[in-house]
Amino acid sequence: MKGFLNRDRFLRILENINIWDIVIVGGGATGLGIALDSASRGFKTLLLEQNDFSKGTSSRSTKLIHGGIRYLAQGNIKLVYEALQERGYLLKNAPHLVKKKRFIIPIFNWKMGILYWTGLKIYEWLSGSLSFGNSQFLSKNEILKMFPEIRSNNLKGGILYYDGQFDDARLAIDLAQTCVQQGGVLLNYFKVKNLIKKIENKITGVIAYDLETKKKYSIYSKIVINATGVFSDTILKMDDSTSTILIKPSQGTHIVLKKSFFSSSDAIVIPKTSDGRILFSIPWYDHVLVGTTDTFLEKSVLEPKPLEKEIDFILQTFNQYFLYNPNKKDILSAFSGLRPLFVPPNLSYSSTKDISRSHKLMMSPSGLITIIGGKWTTYRKMAEETVNKAIEIGKLNKVSSITKNLKIFGYRTDFYSCKNYNNWGDKYGEEEIHIQKLIEENPLWEGPLISQYPYHCTKAEVIWMVRYEMARTIEDVLARRFRLLFLNAKIAIDIAPIIASLMAKELSRDKEWEESQIASFKELAMQYYYPF
């Protein structure tokens, strides 16, 4: 079936291609976007990811497709305009994943209210024909009706505006599948160990290892693109051991609570907290997602842990604005992601909010292209610019990008016709029919695995994820395809043995593999689970 991810087939293709046009290192939002743009222009495209797709930052966002209202305050009109345009393209191309969402900024001070109103009208104007809806002022009573849990002390009213919400890891999988539809090849659990250099010290490919088979590959390419985010310096040092990269990793943390703490279907934005950072409280899969903080870190790690001070800050700020005060025991899951913030030379800054989220495209003398920074909303634009540069440096055929109007895998608008609305239709789009066929093949795969989890997980979906989405571990299924680890870590731990058993049969793994997977996942999940 065209567009589905099949690791064995991709390995066979890899064995039979001598020279690729473009090899991308990194399978997050940026790398997947570049792979899709490249493949859709007709280039022989290979993407290599050392873990699962979107394992890092790209599955740990605030789940927003947005222009970035705080960037207006920084005066970065260009970034906001670009992001708002890209937000519009995403809604058109992936309506099964990207949804319009109502956001409220509560007003406790009329002076700040006027400022926010002016900013949001500019925000709305910048979106032009791709606007998600008109902002409007709401009275105090209207706000209290929408948010019965909000504290009414000094509340004057609020401003309603529209932005986008999505499931980041699901979009990553759909981008990978769209890339395959266009002829691209993607391999997860495939680690780049070195760069191949030949005449005049120019890069001509990569040395990579299949982490499952331990097999070594020499892969030749006209262009290599480094899209590894906070780990970009690893690839850059393979190119030049003396290179220094101007990346400052910033950790963003989120907590997930029961809906009882925040019953509204709309989201709230606190645009200026006690230390100037922004805080969101957003309904997500029948839970509430609260975050994010921005904290500088000294080094990047693959599995960042929430810091105690970040959790305290989120809870304290949430409790300032809402009547029902959760504590750490109420946290169902807590997770962090690292943002690769590009810091220009000689920039003086005191906090992460002072650093722009604009991306940076870098070219090394060897021909290596590195893309740093940016955010999910602008992944497509970043990819287009990167492939344009690859065409220039690699002397490839000049072909224009088509991704502005390219429908993302699963594209579907008639969600209410789905048999499992709010379960499959807005997750798999038109591909939900194939999961239904799996159930017809084996009716025992139909029932939900856990009744407490409203976004029902079924055995059929696990089979689908292994066969057609390249899920290779329990973590791949429970963290990024079901999102259960991010919603309720304890339930994720409880269900792990069932997932392991289903996967072992599909992947022809033995009992030792099952037990190892369960142990590894439990160790990981305990980092998300409160109380620790």
Domain assignment present for residue 454? The answer is yes
Domain assignment present for residue 342? The answer is yes
CATH number of the domain that 107 lies in? 3.30.9.10
374 and 284 in a common domain? no
CATH number of the domain that 427 lies in? 1.10.8
Domain assignment present for residue 65? The answer is no
* Tens of pLDDT, residues 293-306: 777 777 777 888 88
14 and 139 in a common domain? no
223 and 107 in a common domain? no
Per-residue DSSP letter, 316: H
CA 339/CA 374 separation, integer angstroms = 9
- Give the residue from 222, 278, 226 showing the smallest Cα distance to 254: 278
Side chain identity at 249, as an amino acid letter?
P
- pLDDT by residue for the chain (532 residues), tens only, comes to 577 999 999 999 999 999 999 999 999 999 999 999 999 999 999 999 999 999 999 999 999 999 888 777 777 888 899 999 999 999 999 999 999 999 999 999 999 899 999 999 999 999 999 999 999 999 999 999 999 999 999 999 999 999 999 999 999 999 999 999 999 999 999 999 999 998 788 989 999 999 999 999 999 999 999 999 989 989 999 998 887 767 778 888 999 999 999 999 999 998 877 777 888 999 999 899 998 877 777 777 788 888 888 999 999 999 999 999 999 999 999 999 988 777 665 555 444 454 555 788 999 999 999 999 888 999 999 999 999 999 999 999 999 999 999 999 999 876 544 344 344 556 888 888 888 888 898 888 887 888 776 456 889 999 999 999 999 999 999 999 999 999 999 999 999 999 999 999 999 999 999 999 999 999 999 999 865 5
What three-state secondary structure class fits 90? helix
What is the reported pLDDT for 307? Answer: 86
275 and 143 in a common domain? yes
Domain assignment present for residue 231? The answer is yes
137 bridge partner residues: 159
440 and 376 in a common domain? no
Side chain identity at 406, as an amino acid letter?
L
What's 173-233 look like in SS3? HHHHHHHHHCCCEEECCEEEEEEEECHHHCEEEEEEEECCCCCEEEEEEEEEEECCHHHHH
Task: Output the pTM of the full model.
Answer: 0.94
Domain assignment present for residue 97? The answer is yes
317 and 304 in a common domain? yes
Number of independent structural domains in the chain: 3
What's 387-413 look like in SS3? HHHHHHHHCCCCCCCCHHHCCCCCCCC
* Tens of pLDDT, residues 389-443: 999 999 999 999 999 999 999 998 765 443 443 445 568 888 888 888 888 988 8
394 and 349 in a common domain? no
438 and 388 in a common domain? no
436 and 421 in a common domain? yes
Range of the domain at 474: 415-525
Domain assignment present for residue 2? The answer is no
**C-alpha of 6 from chain center:** 22
Domain assignment present for residue 477? The answer is yes
- Give the residue from 206, 210, 252 showing the smallest Cα distance to 226: 206
Domain assignment present for residue 307? The answer is yes
Which of 333, 354, 375 is the C-terminal boundary of a domain?
Answer: 354
CA 435/CA 465 separation, integer angstroms = 10
Q: In which residue are the tokens 């809870």 written?
A: 315
CATH number of the domain that 391 lies in? 3.50.50.60
Do 139 and 190 contact (CB within 8 A), yes or no?
Answer: no
209 and 313 in a common domain? no
Do 307 and 253 contact (CB within 8 A), yes or no?
Answer: yes
319 and 286 in a common domain? yes
Polymer length in residues for the chain:
532
98 and 40 in a common domain? no
CA 216/CA 208 separation, integer angstroms = 6
